[in-house]
Amino acid sequence: MSENYLTIGQMAELNHVSTQTLRLYDKKGLLKPEYQDPQNGYRYYHIAQSDELDLIHTMKICGMTLEQIHKQLTQSSQEDLYKSLMEQDKKLSKEIKQLTRSLCTIRRFTSNLSRLNSIPPIGKIVYEYLPERKIDTFTSDIDFFEKGYSGYEEMLREFKSYMIKNGLPLSYFFNAGTLIERDDFIEQKLKSNKVFIFVDEDYPTSKSQRVLPENMYITIYSDDTIQEYQYAKQIYSEIEKSGYEIAGEYLCEVILYTPYNKKRNKSLKYKIQVPVTHKNR
């Protein structure tokens, strides 16, 4: 018998696969030993079959199932293989996009958890310089300041339904906050019927998005939704006293909340932030 013929163990070692893998490929009809010894019944692979094994592994790396690979090897043309690979390209690209969004959510979540170790004392006014950010917004008929936390939850359910209906990625739903328009806050009309989320370049473009320029912000951190009305007034008073003027939207960014429990309580950490500028500018 030619030295080009290999036992299953030799074929496995040569190609860095297990004998179990070769037996599976044999069973599935992907790669069968080429030669069977008529005297002892032993079956042997030809070394040239390594090319077929390489092709099988390449298609596996491309994410194809063994059934798909069998079809490509036994029934399909090069054109069919090309089309199949292009379909796999689209599928994997979609999965990569979703995984990237999941990774971004994990990083935002862990970042917020880290922030909790260094936030200022609750209720203390702090000046912070914040970089440019982008948000998407949703307008509800519900006013948070009128209905309180239950109203906030209703607003979130509306927003979530809106996102699903419009095919928006729910990975951005994490930590949705509320917003008061600049003119309303200037006039102290504390009406908060807009939900917002921070988004990045991967988020689908929509007319409801807006850019928050880099700016100095007056901020207060809190852990009690009941206090938000009082803190909103406190920030407004600070702006009046300090010689600044309101330069943009009032944002209430939710940093973290604990799950709903039997006592119907939730622990919330949020950050109120209002951009300001000097009046003489």
Give mean pLDDT in consecutive 10-residue pieces for the chain, a chain of 281 residues: 86 95 95 91 93 94 93 87 91 90 87 84 93 95 85 91 92 89 94 92 89 96 88 94 94 78 60 90 55
237 and 260 belong to one structural domain = yes
Same domain, 144 and 267: yes
Task: In whole angstroms, give the CA distance from residue 28 to residue 222.
Answer: 62
CB atoms inside a 10 Å sphere around CB 157? 11
Q: Are 28 and 52 in contact (CB under 8 A)?
A: no
Kindly state whether residues 238 and 255 are assigned to the same domain: yes
| Residues in a beta bridge with 139 | 194
Q: Are 264 and 183 contained in the same domain? A: yes
Give pLDDT, residue 278. 87
Closest to 35 in 3D by CA, of 69, 57, 2: 2
Residue finishing a domain among 57, 90, 118: 118
What are the start-end ranges of the E strands in the chain?
A: 5-6, 35-36, 43-46, 126-130, 133-139, 177-180, 194-199, 209-212, 215-222, 244-246, 250-257, 268-278
Per the listing, tokens 């988004």 go with 199
What CATH number should be reported for the domain holding residue 146? Answer: 3.20.80.10
pLDDT of 281 reads 55
Q: Are residues 69 and 22 in the same domain?
A: yes
pLDDT of 267: 59
Tell me, yes or no, whether 114 and 128 share the same domain.
no
Out of 16, 43, 75, a domain closes at 75
pLDDT of amino acid 130: 95
- Per the CB < 8 A criterion, the answer to whether 151 and 221 are in contact is no
Instruction: Let me know whether 102 and 226 are in one domain.
Output: no
SS3 198: strand
Print the domain residue range for 89.
76-118
Q: Give the total number of structural domains in the chain.
A: 3
